[in-house]
A and B are shown apart, each in its own frame.
Chain A
Amino acid sequence: MTEHGGGGQLRVESVDMVYELPKGGSVQALKDVSFDLEQGRLLTLLGPSGCGKTTLLNILAGFLAPTGGQVTLGGSAITGPGQDRGMVFQQGALFEWLSVEKNISFGPRMKRADKSGTSARVEDLLKTVGLGGFGEKMVYELSGGMQQRVALARCLANDPAMILMDEPLGALDALTREKMQSLILELWSETGKTIVLVTHSVEEALFLGDILFVMAPRPGRIERTYELPFAKMGLEVEPRELKRSPEFVDKREEILSLIWDMEEQIMGHEGEA
Chain B
Amino acid sequence: MTDQLQTASGASSEGMNSLLTNRRGWRPGGAGGDSRKTVTFGDSSAVRSSPAWTVVALIFMGILWWAATKAWGFPAEFAAANEGLRDVDLQAACDRDETCGRDSYSQFLSPRTFPSPRDTWTAMVELWNNGFANETLWAHTWASLRRVGLGMFWGVVIGVPVGFAMGLSSRLRGFFDAPVELFRPIPPLALLPLFILMFGIGDRPAVRLLFFAALWIMIIAARSGVRTANLSKVRAAYSLGASKWQVLTRVLLPNALPEIFTGLRVALGVCWGTLVAAELVGTRVGLGSMIFAARPFFRLDIMLAGVVIIALLGVLMDVIMRFLEARLIPWRGKG
In this complex, how many residues of chain A approach chain B with their Cβ under 8 Å: the count is 42
Give Cα A143–Cα B15 distance, bound, in whole angstroms: 10
Please, which residue of chain A has its CB at the minimum distance from the CB of B18?
A: A143
Contact A110 B235 (CB under 8 A): no
Give Cα A179–Cα B240 distance, bound, in whole angstroms: 26
Contact B237 A141 (CB under 8 A): no
Stretch in B60-68, B95-103, B154-162, B249-257 touching the partner: B249-257
Q: What does the 1/0 interface line of B295-335 toward A look like (CB < 8 Å)?
A: 00000000000000000000000000000000001110011
Determine if A176 is an interface residue (Cβ-Cβ < 8 Å).
yes
Q: What does the 1/0 interface line of A164-188 toward B look like (CB < 8 Å)?
A: 0000000011011001100000000
**Residues of chain A whose beta carbon lies under 8 Å from any beta carbon of chain B:** 61, 63, 80-83, 85-87, 89-90, 92-97, 106-107, 110-111, 130, 133-134, 137-138, 140-146, 154-155, 158, 172-173, 175-176, 179-180
In addition to A92-B233, A138-B23, A141-B23, 12 A-B residue pairs with Cβ atoms within 8 Å of each other are A80-B238, A83-B239, A83-B241, A92-B335, A94-B233, A95-B255, A96-B335, A97-B257, A107-B240, A110-B240, A110-B241, A173-B4
Give Cα A154–Cα B230 distance, bound, in whole angstroms: 17
Contact partner of B239 among A61, A97, A130, CB < 8 A?
A61
Give Cα A93–Cα B237 distance, bound, in whole angstroms: 9
Tell me how far the C-beta of B332 lies from the nearest C-beta in chain A, rounded to whole angstroms: 9
Residues of chain B within 8 A (CB-CB) of A143 are 3-4, 7-8, 15
Contact A95 B232 (CB under 8 A): no
Determine if B194 is an interface residue (Cβ-Cβ < 8 Å).
no
Contact partner of A141 among B4, B5, B19, B250, CB < 8 A?
B19
Contact B5 A138 (CB under 8 A): no
Residues of chain A within 8 A (CB-CB) of B250 are 95, 106, 110
Q: With A96-B331, A143-B7 known to touch, is A107 a contact of B241 (CB < 8 Å)?
A: yes
Q: What does the 1/0 interface line of B10-52 toward A look like (CB < 8 Å)?
A: 1100010001001100000000000000000000000000000
Give Cα A92–Cα B232 distance, bound, in whole angstroms: 7
B contact patch SS: helix
Determine if B243 is an interface residue (Cβ-Cβ < 8 Å).
yes
Please, which residue of chain A has its CB at the minimum distance from the CB of B1?
A: A173
Give Cα A154–Cα B23 distance, bound, in whole angstroms: 23
Give Cα A96–Cα B230 distance, bound, in whole angstroms: 12
Give Cα A83–Cα B242 distance, bound, in whole angstroms: 9
Q: With A61-B235, A92-B230, A137-B19 known to touch, is A111 a contact of B241 (CB < 8 Å)?
A: yes
Give Cα A87–Cα B232 distance, bound, in whole angstroms: 9
Determine if B122 is an interface residue (Cβ-Cβ < 8 Å).
no
Contact B330 A138 (CB under 8 A): yes
Q: With A140-B331, A140-B334, A143-B4 known to touch, is A97 a contact of B254 (CB < 8 Å)?
A: yes
Contact B8 A95 (CB under 8 A): no
Q: With A97-B331, A141-B19, A141-B22 known to touch, is A82 a contact of B7 (CB < 8 Å)?
A: no
